[in-house]
Chains A and B, each alone.
Chain A
Amino acid sequence: MARSLRIAVVGHTNTGKTSLLRTLTRDTGFGEVSSRPSTTRHVEGARLLADGEVLVELYDTPGLEDPIALLERVEAIEADAGEDKRLDGFTRIERFLQTPVAGRRFEQEAKVLRQMLASDAAFYVVDARDPVLAKHRDELAILANCAIPLLPVLNFVLDPAADESSWREALARLGLHAVVRFDTVAPERGGERRLYEKLATLVDEHRPALERLVASREREAQARHAAGLRVLAELLVDVAAARATVAADPESIRAAVAELHEKVRRREQVGVDALLTLYRFRRDDVDAAALPLLDGRWENDLFNPETFRAMGIGLGTGAAAGAAAGVGIDLMLGGLTLGTAALLGAIAGGGWQAMRQFGDRVVERLRGQRELSVDDGILRLLAVRQMRLLRALEARGHAAIAPIRLVDPAEKQWREGPIPEPLLRARAHSDWSALFEPRADGPGREETVTALAERLANAPEG
């Protein structure tokens, strides 16, 4: 293809044109956005890239502010004296742009029209909360004269004040039947794909480029998801593998418990920060409230029994008799356990390492020392909590967030099902935990993290 697809983003003033550009370009600093009308008074462009290749150019334009007077002006343009013909709409627009008034009173509108003429297609952004007025009809009549395909984009459709059907009807009357709903600030899941697919029906020769763009965007999202799961898997392996040796007297146990608590807490925060970075989340983002965090941190402490109850893990889950027993120990030792769970895990994890670890333990027992490790309940809680955060981050920017289902199958699996095998394996390798330096980065750890991330990705359905 010789040239990338050029799209003008047009619309009445203050309908969210710049927001649409920000969302499609993933560039939150593009242009200037405010609730104030006529914020954008210039034409500013951005190229959409997929794998480093320019596929689409988008141009943000000023809002059309006085379409009624503009249409009157355009319609008043007559053929020159020598010409013996009726002027078509396109010629009128061209001639209008040469008139002096296009540089003065209608400067803003002229910019829009010039950009329309230089583009292959246009998005006509509609604030669906506005009633359909004569000025909008006149606006569409002018834009139709520019002779490029126009795709109306209904913004703010999820607002209770939105009147989508009136808009659709009015647009259909003007011959605009391809219409797409796209909330520019919080698009629905798959909204971007629908937007480009609709656009492809209007500019068929650019369909391959648009398909590549969609594929690239979806691939990016999947890659980010996979990386998120890996962050989560690393956290779980670090915590599951953590083990501290303590003398058997209550004083040392208390001190060691406090230390391990702090280490696990800090490690969880590292995971949270990594997820926030991965999803390019900033504290001042508009949707900060949509995350289950307070100022970038979980509100409830990990080792607070109340947190367990809130997340549905604990004595109340009934069916999880085994887990309940584990939590019993938790409540006594604040989420940590002396030996048993880790030992069982070590044996289940198997292999030479486990035997060696077992030997180490016997020696420690003989020396009057005990081992402290993080209980299964905490692992479950961490998994559930971080998965929720991941989901919230992915749903972010996507409207119609379904309320978090308390019986999410993946969560249920983590709450009540057996601890996955890779974590049991991690139990047997205290040297895999980053909680205690130095961490040994054998291939075994990598494999375990990968296996766990896969397990998290393929959580059983239903």
Chain B
Amino acid sequence: MILHSPDSLRLSSFELRWLAEALRRREERSGPLEDREAVAAACTAGGGLEARVLRRAQVLGEREGLAAGVTSWVGRARLATLLLGALALASGFGAAVAVLGDGTRAVNVVWALGGLLGIHLLSLLLWLAGLGLGGRDGGGLLGRAWLGLSSRLSGARETVDVTQALVGLLGPPRLLRWWLGAVTHGVWLAALAGAVVGLIVTLATRRYGFVWETTILPADAFVRAVRLVGGLPAQFGFAMPDAEAVRASGDAVQSGEAARIAWSSWLLGCVVAYGVVPRLFLASVCFGLWRSGRSRLRIDVALPGYAVLVPRLMPASERIGVTDADPGRMPGPHVEGRRSGGTGRAMLVALELAGQADWPPPLPPGASDAGVVDSREDRKQAVAALRADPPARLLVACDARQSPDRGSLELIAELSRHANDSRVLLVGAGQMDAGDRRQHWRDGLRGIGMASERVDDNPARALAWLGATEREDG
């Protein structure tokens, strides 16, 4: 799927989705944007609905500055990560130096270890508890701070949209906590790595004595505690002071090199095993989950903001256009002028008049009924009858509820050519729904040259006209 055009900002597919979400929020808040061009671009690019939504978002986002908002947000996030990491590294280093002191006083191993790992372990427990409770703030405090820092480094309006879109996009699939978790653990990792470096540097360049102190606890408790705590680092190859040395350190500062090295190694091992290793592990787990979740992430096209775009982005049809054009001219039938030579009879003929119970109506004296004309044969018979004996007056009855068509008009024209005078009666015109079609009949008849005074929808009047033949001729 190619989502980039060469001249556009390079956005990863995740960033594009993020941009689409930011755009959706903006359109939801301040109304739809003018997007004809963007929709056209999306339809040209093709692909599934999501791809089209993303393409549209890309075009609009670049125009509206949201795409720049996303890229600058990412840039700021990198900067914030660097700042936080550097700060953490320095603080870790500083903490290690501060905990060990300047070497004038013996180092209390309990306080040193507590000072180096205490806050870290506490925050780790809190993070785990938050995760276990399925809390929404599972990202850790540092991650939140980082998120806040990344969005607050700029005061632009876009930033608010972009940040909210990120939270909205990552919230429902629970991805935010992995991302923020990776940042939290990464920052702690930097701090603890700084502490390890600090420890190594100071231990390498200064001489420290190690003691433990107690007022109420027995010495054996310390021996056991040191052994217990040192068990895990020992697995990584860190040394551990033996029971004798531990006991001796309780009484006075040990000046022996072996004891000093053993204590240093134990202290360093504890920071690595209980600090660096778990944070490294969690940071990579969070990062891995974030990466895999991110690659599976799709925008929810069922959201109303996207759903309204569907008819335009994924039209149900496209027009082909006219494939066989209207000729513009329609040679039509025409009623010829009045002619004479009829025998003086009056005739009624009905055209396609189906299901009329009261047909034919009582005819005026002298008038004859030529029946109902429907099929080809009927038509031929009617024309033949008229030709054989042209009437003076012809009344053609049509069903006003049907649509007039060229065939009917043609027949009317042909029939009327054989009569001295002809009129049309629209039957059923008074019934409902006939309104439009009655007018269509009148229009159609005018089109063939039958003036409107020759079209009647009153049966009594039309029949009276038919019956007037005798008197007129006589």
Contacts and interface: CB of A to CB of B under 8 A. Distances in A.
B168 A135 contact: no
Interface string A35-63: 11110011111111101101001010001
A131 B315 CA distance: 38
A48 B316 contact: yes
Contacts of B433: 129, 159, 161
A142 interface: no
A181 interface: no
A35 B436 contact: yes
10 contacts: A35-B436, A42-B324, A49-B314, A52-B47, A63-B405, A68-B376, A107-B327, A134-B352, A274-B304, A442-B167
A66 B172 contact: no
Interface string B149-173: 0000000000000001001101110
A44 B311 contact: no
A30 interface: yes
A49 B410 contact: no
Interface stretch (A222-230, A248-256, A286-294, A321-329): A222-230
Contact of A111 (B167, B324, B444): B324
Contacts of A227: 302-304, 306-308
B405 A220 contact: no
A42 B307 contact: no
Contact of A37 (B49, B307, B324, B440): B440
Contacts of A223: 301-302, 307, 310
Contacts of B319: 27, 30, 44-47
B240 to A, nearest CB: 43
Given A12-B403, A274-B308, 5 more contacts: A14-B405, A44-B322, A138-B375, A230-B302, A447-B171
A101 to B, nearest CB: 11
A277 interface: yes
Contacts, number: 183
Contacts of A69: 407, 410
A26 B315 CA distance: 8
B453 interface: no
A217 interface: yes
A205 interface: no
Contact of A44 (B314, B321, B379): B321
A280 interface: yes
Interface string B316-337: 1111111111110011000000
Interface string A270-296: 000010011010000000000000000
Nearest to B314: A52
A71 B376 contact: yes
A305 to B, nearest CB: 31
B354 interface: yes
For chain B, give the interface size range.
Answer: 35 or more
Given A46-B319, A227-B302, A52 B403 contact: no
A342 to B, nearest CB: 22
A316 interface: no
Contacts of A67: 407
A37 to B, nearest CB: 4
A418 interface: no
B378 A134 contact: yes
B316 A25 contact: yes
List the 9 closest A-B pairs by CB distance, nearest first: A443-B171, A45-B320, A227-B307, A25-B317, A66-B407, A43-B324, A134-B375, A131-B354, A65-B406
Nearest to B318: A47
B304 A59 contact: no
A158 to B, nearest CB: 13
B406 A66 contact: yes
B55 to A, nearest CB: 12
B25 interface: yes
A410 B348 CA distance: 63
Interface in A55-109: 57, 59, 63, 65-69, 71-72, 104-105, 107-108
Contacts of A111: 324
A66 B401 contact: no
A45 B171 CA distance: 46
B352 A133 contact: yes
A443 B172 contact: yes
Interface of A: 12-14, 24-27, 30, 35-38, 41-49, 51-52, 54, 57, 59, 63, 65-69, 71-72, 104-105, 107-108, 111, 114-115, 127, 129-135, 138, 159, 161, 217, 220, 223-224, 226-228, 230-231, 234, 274, 277-278, 280, 441-444, 446-447, 450
B310 A220 contact: yes
B402 interface: yes
B103 interface: no
Contacts of B407: 65-69, 135
B136 interface: yes
B317 A46 contact: yes
A114 B324 CA distance: 9
B374 interface: yes
Contact of B317 (A26, A161, A443): A26
B176 A46 contact: no
Contacts of A224: 307, 310
Given A59-B323, A444-B136, A37 B403 contact: yes
A57 B378 CA distance: 39
B233 interface: no
Contact of A42 (B176, B308, B322, B354): B322
B325 A443 contact: no
A446 B324 contact: no
Contacts of B316: 25-27, 48-49, 217, 220
Interface in B399-438: 399, 401-407, 410, 433, 436-437
B376 A441 contact: no
Contacts of B314: 49, 51-52
Nearest to B313: A52
B323 A105 contact: no
A47 B47 CA distance: 17
A144 B376 CA distance: 18
Contacts of B376: 68, 71-72, 134, 138
Nearest to A110: B324
Contacts of A450: 172
A72 B411 CA distance: 14
Contacts of A46: 317-320
Contact of B405 (A65, A107, A161, A443): A65
Contact of A443 (B176, B401, B444): B176
Contacts of A57: 320
Given A42-B325, A278-B308, A105 B317 contact: no
Nearest to A224: B307
A159 to B, nearest CB: 8
A226 B305 CA distance: 12
Nearest to A75: B376
A66 B405 CA distance: 7
A443 B320 contact: no
Contacts of A35: 436-437, 440
B355 interface: yes
B75 interface: no
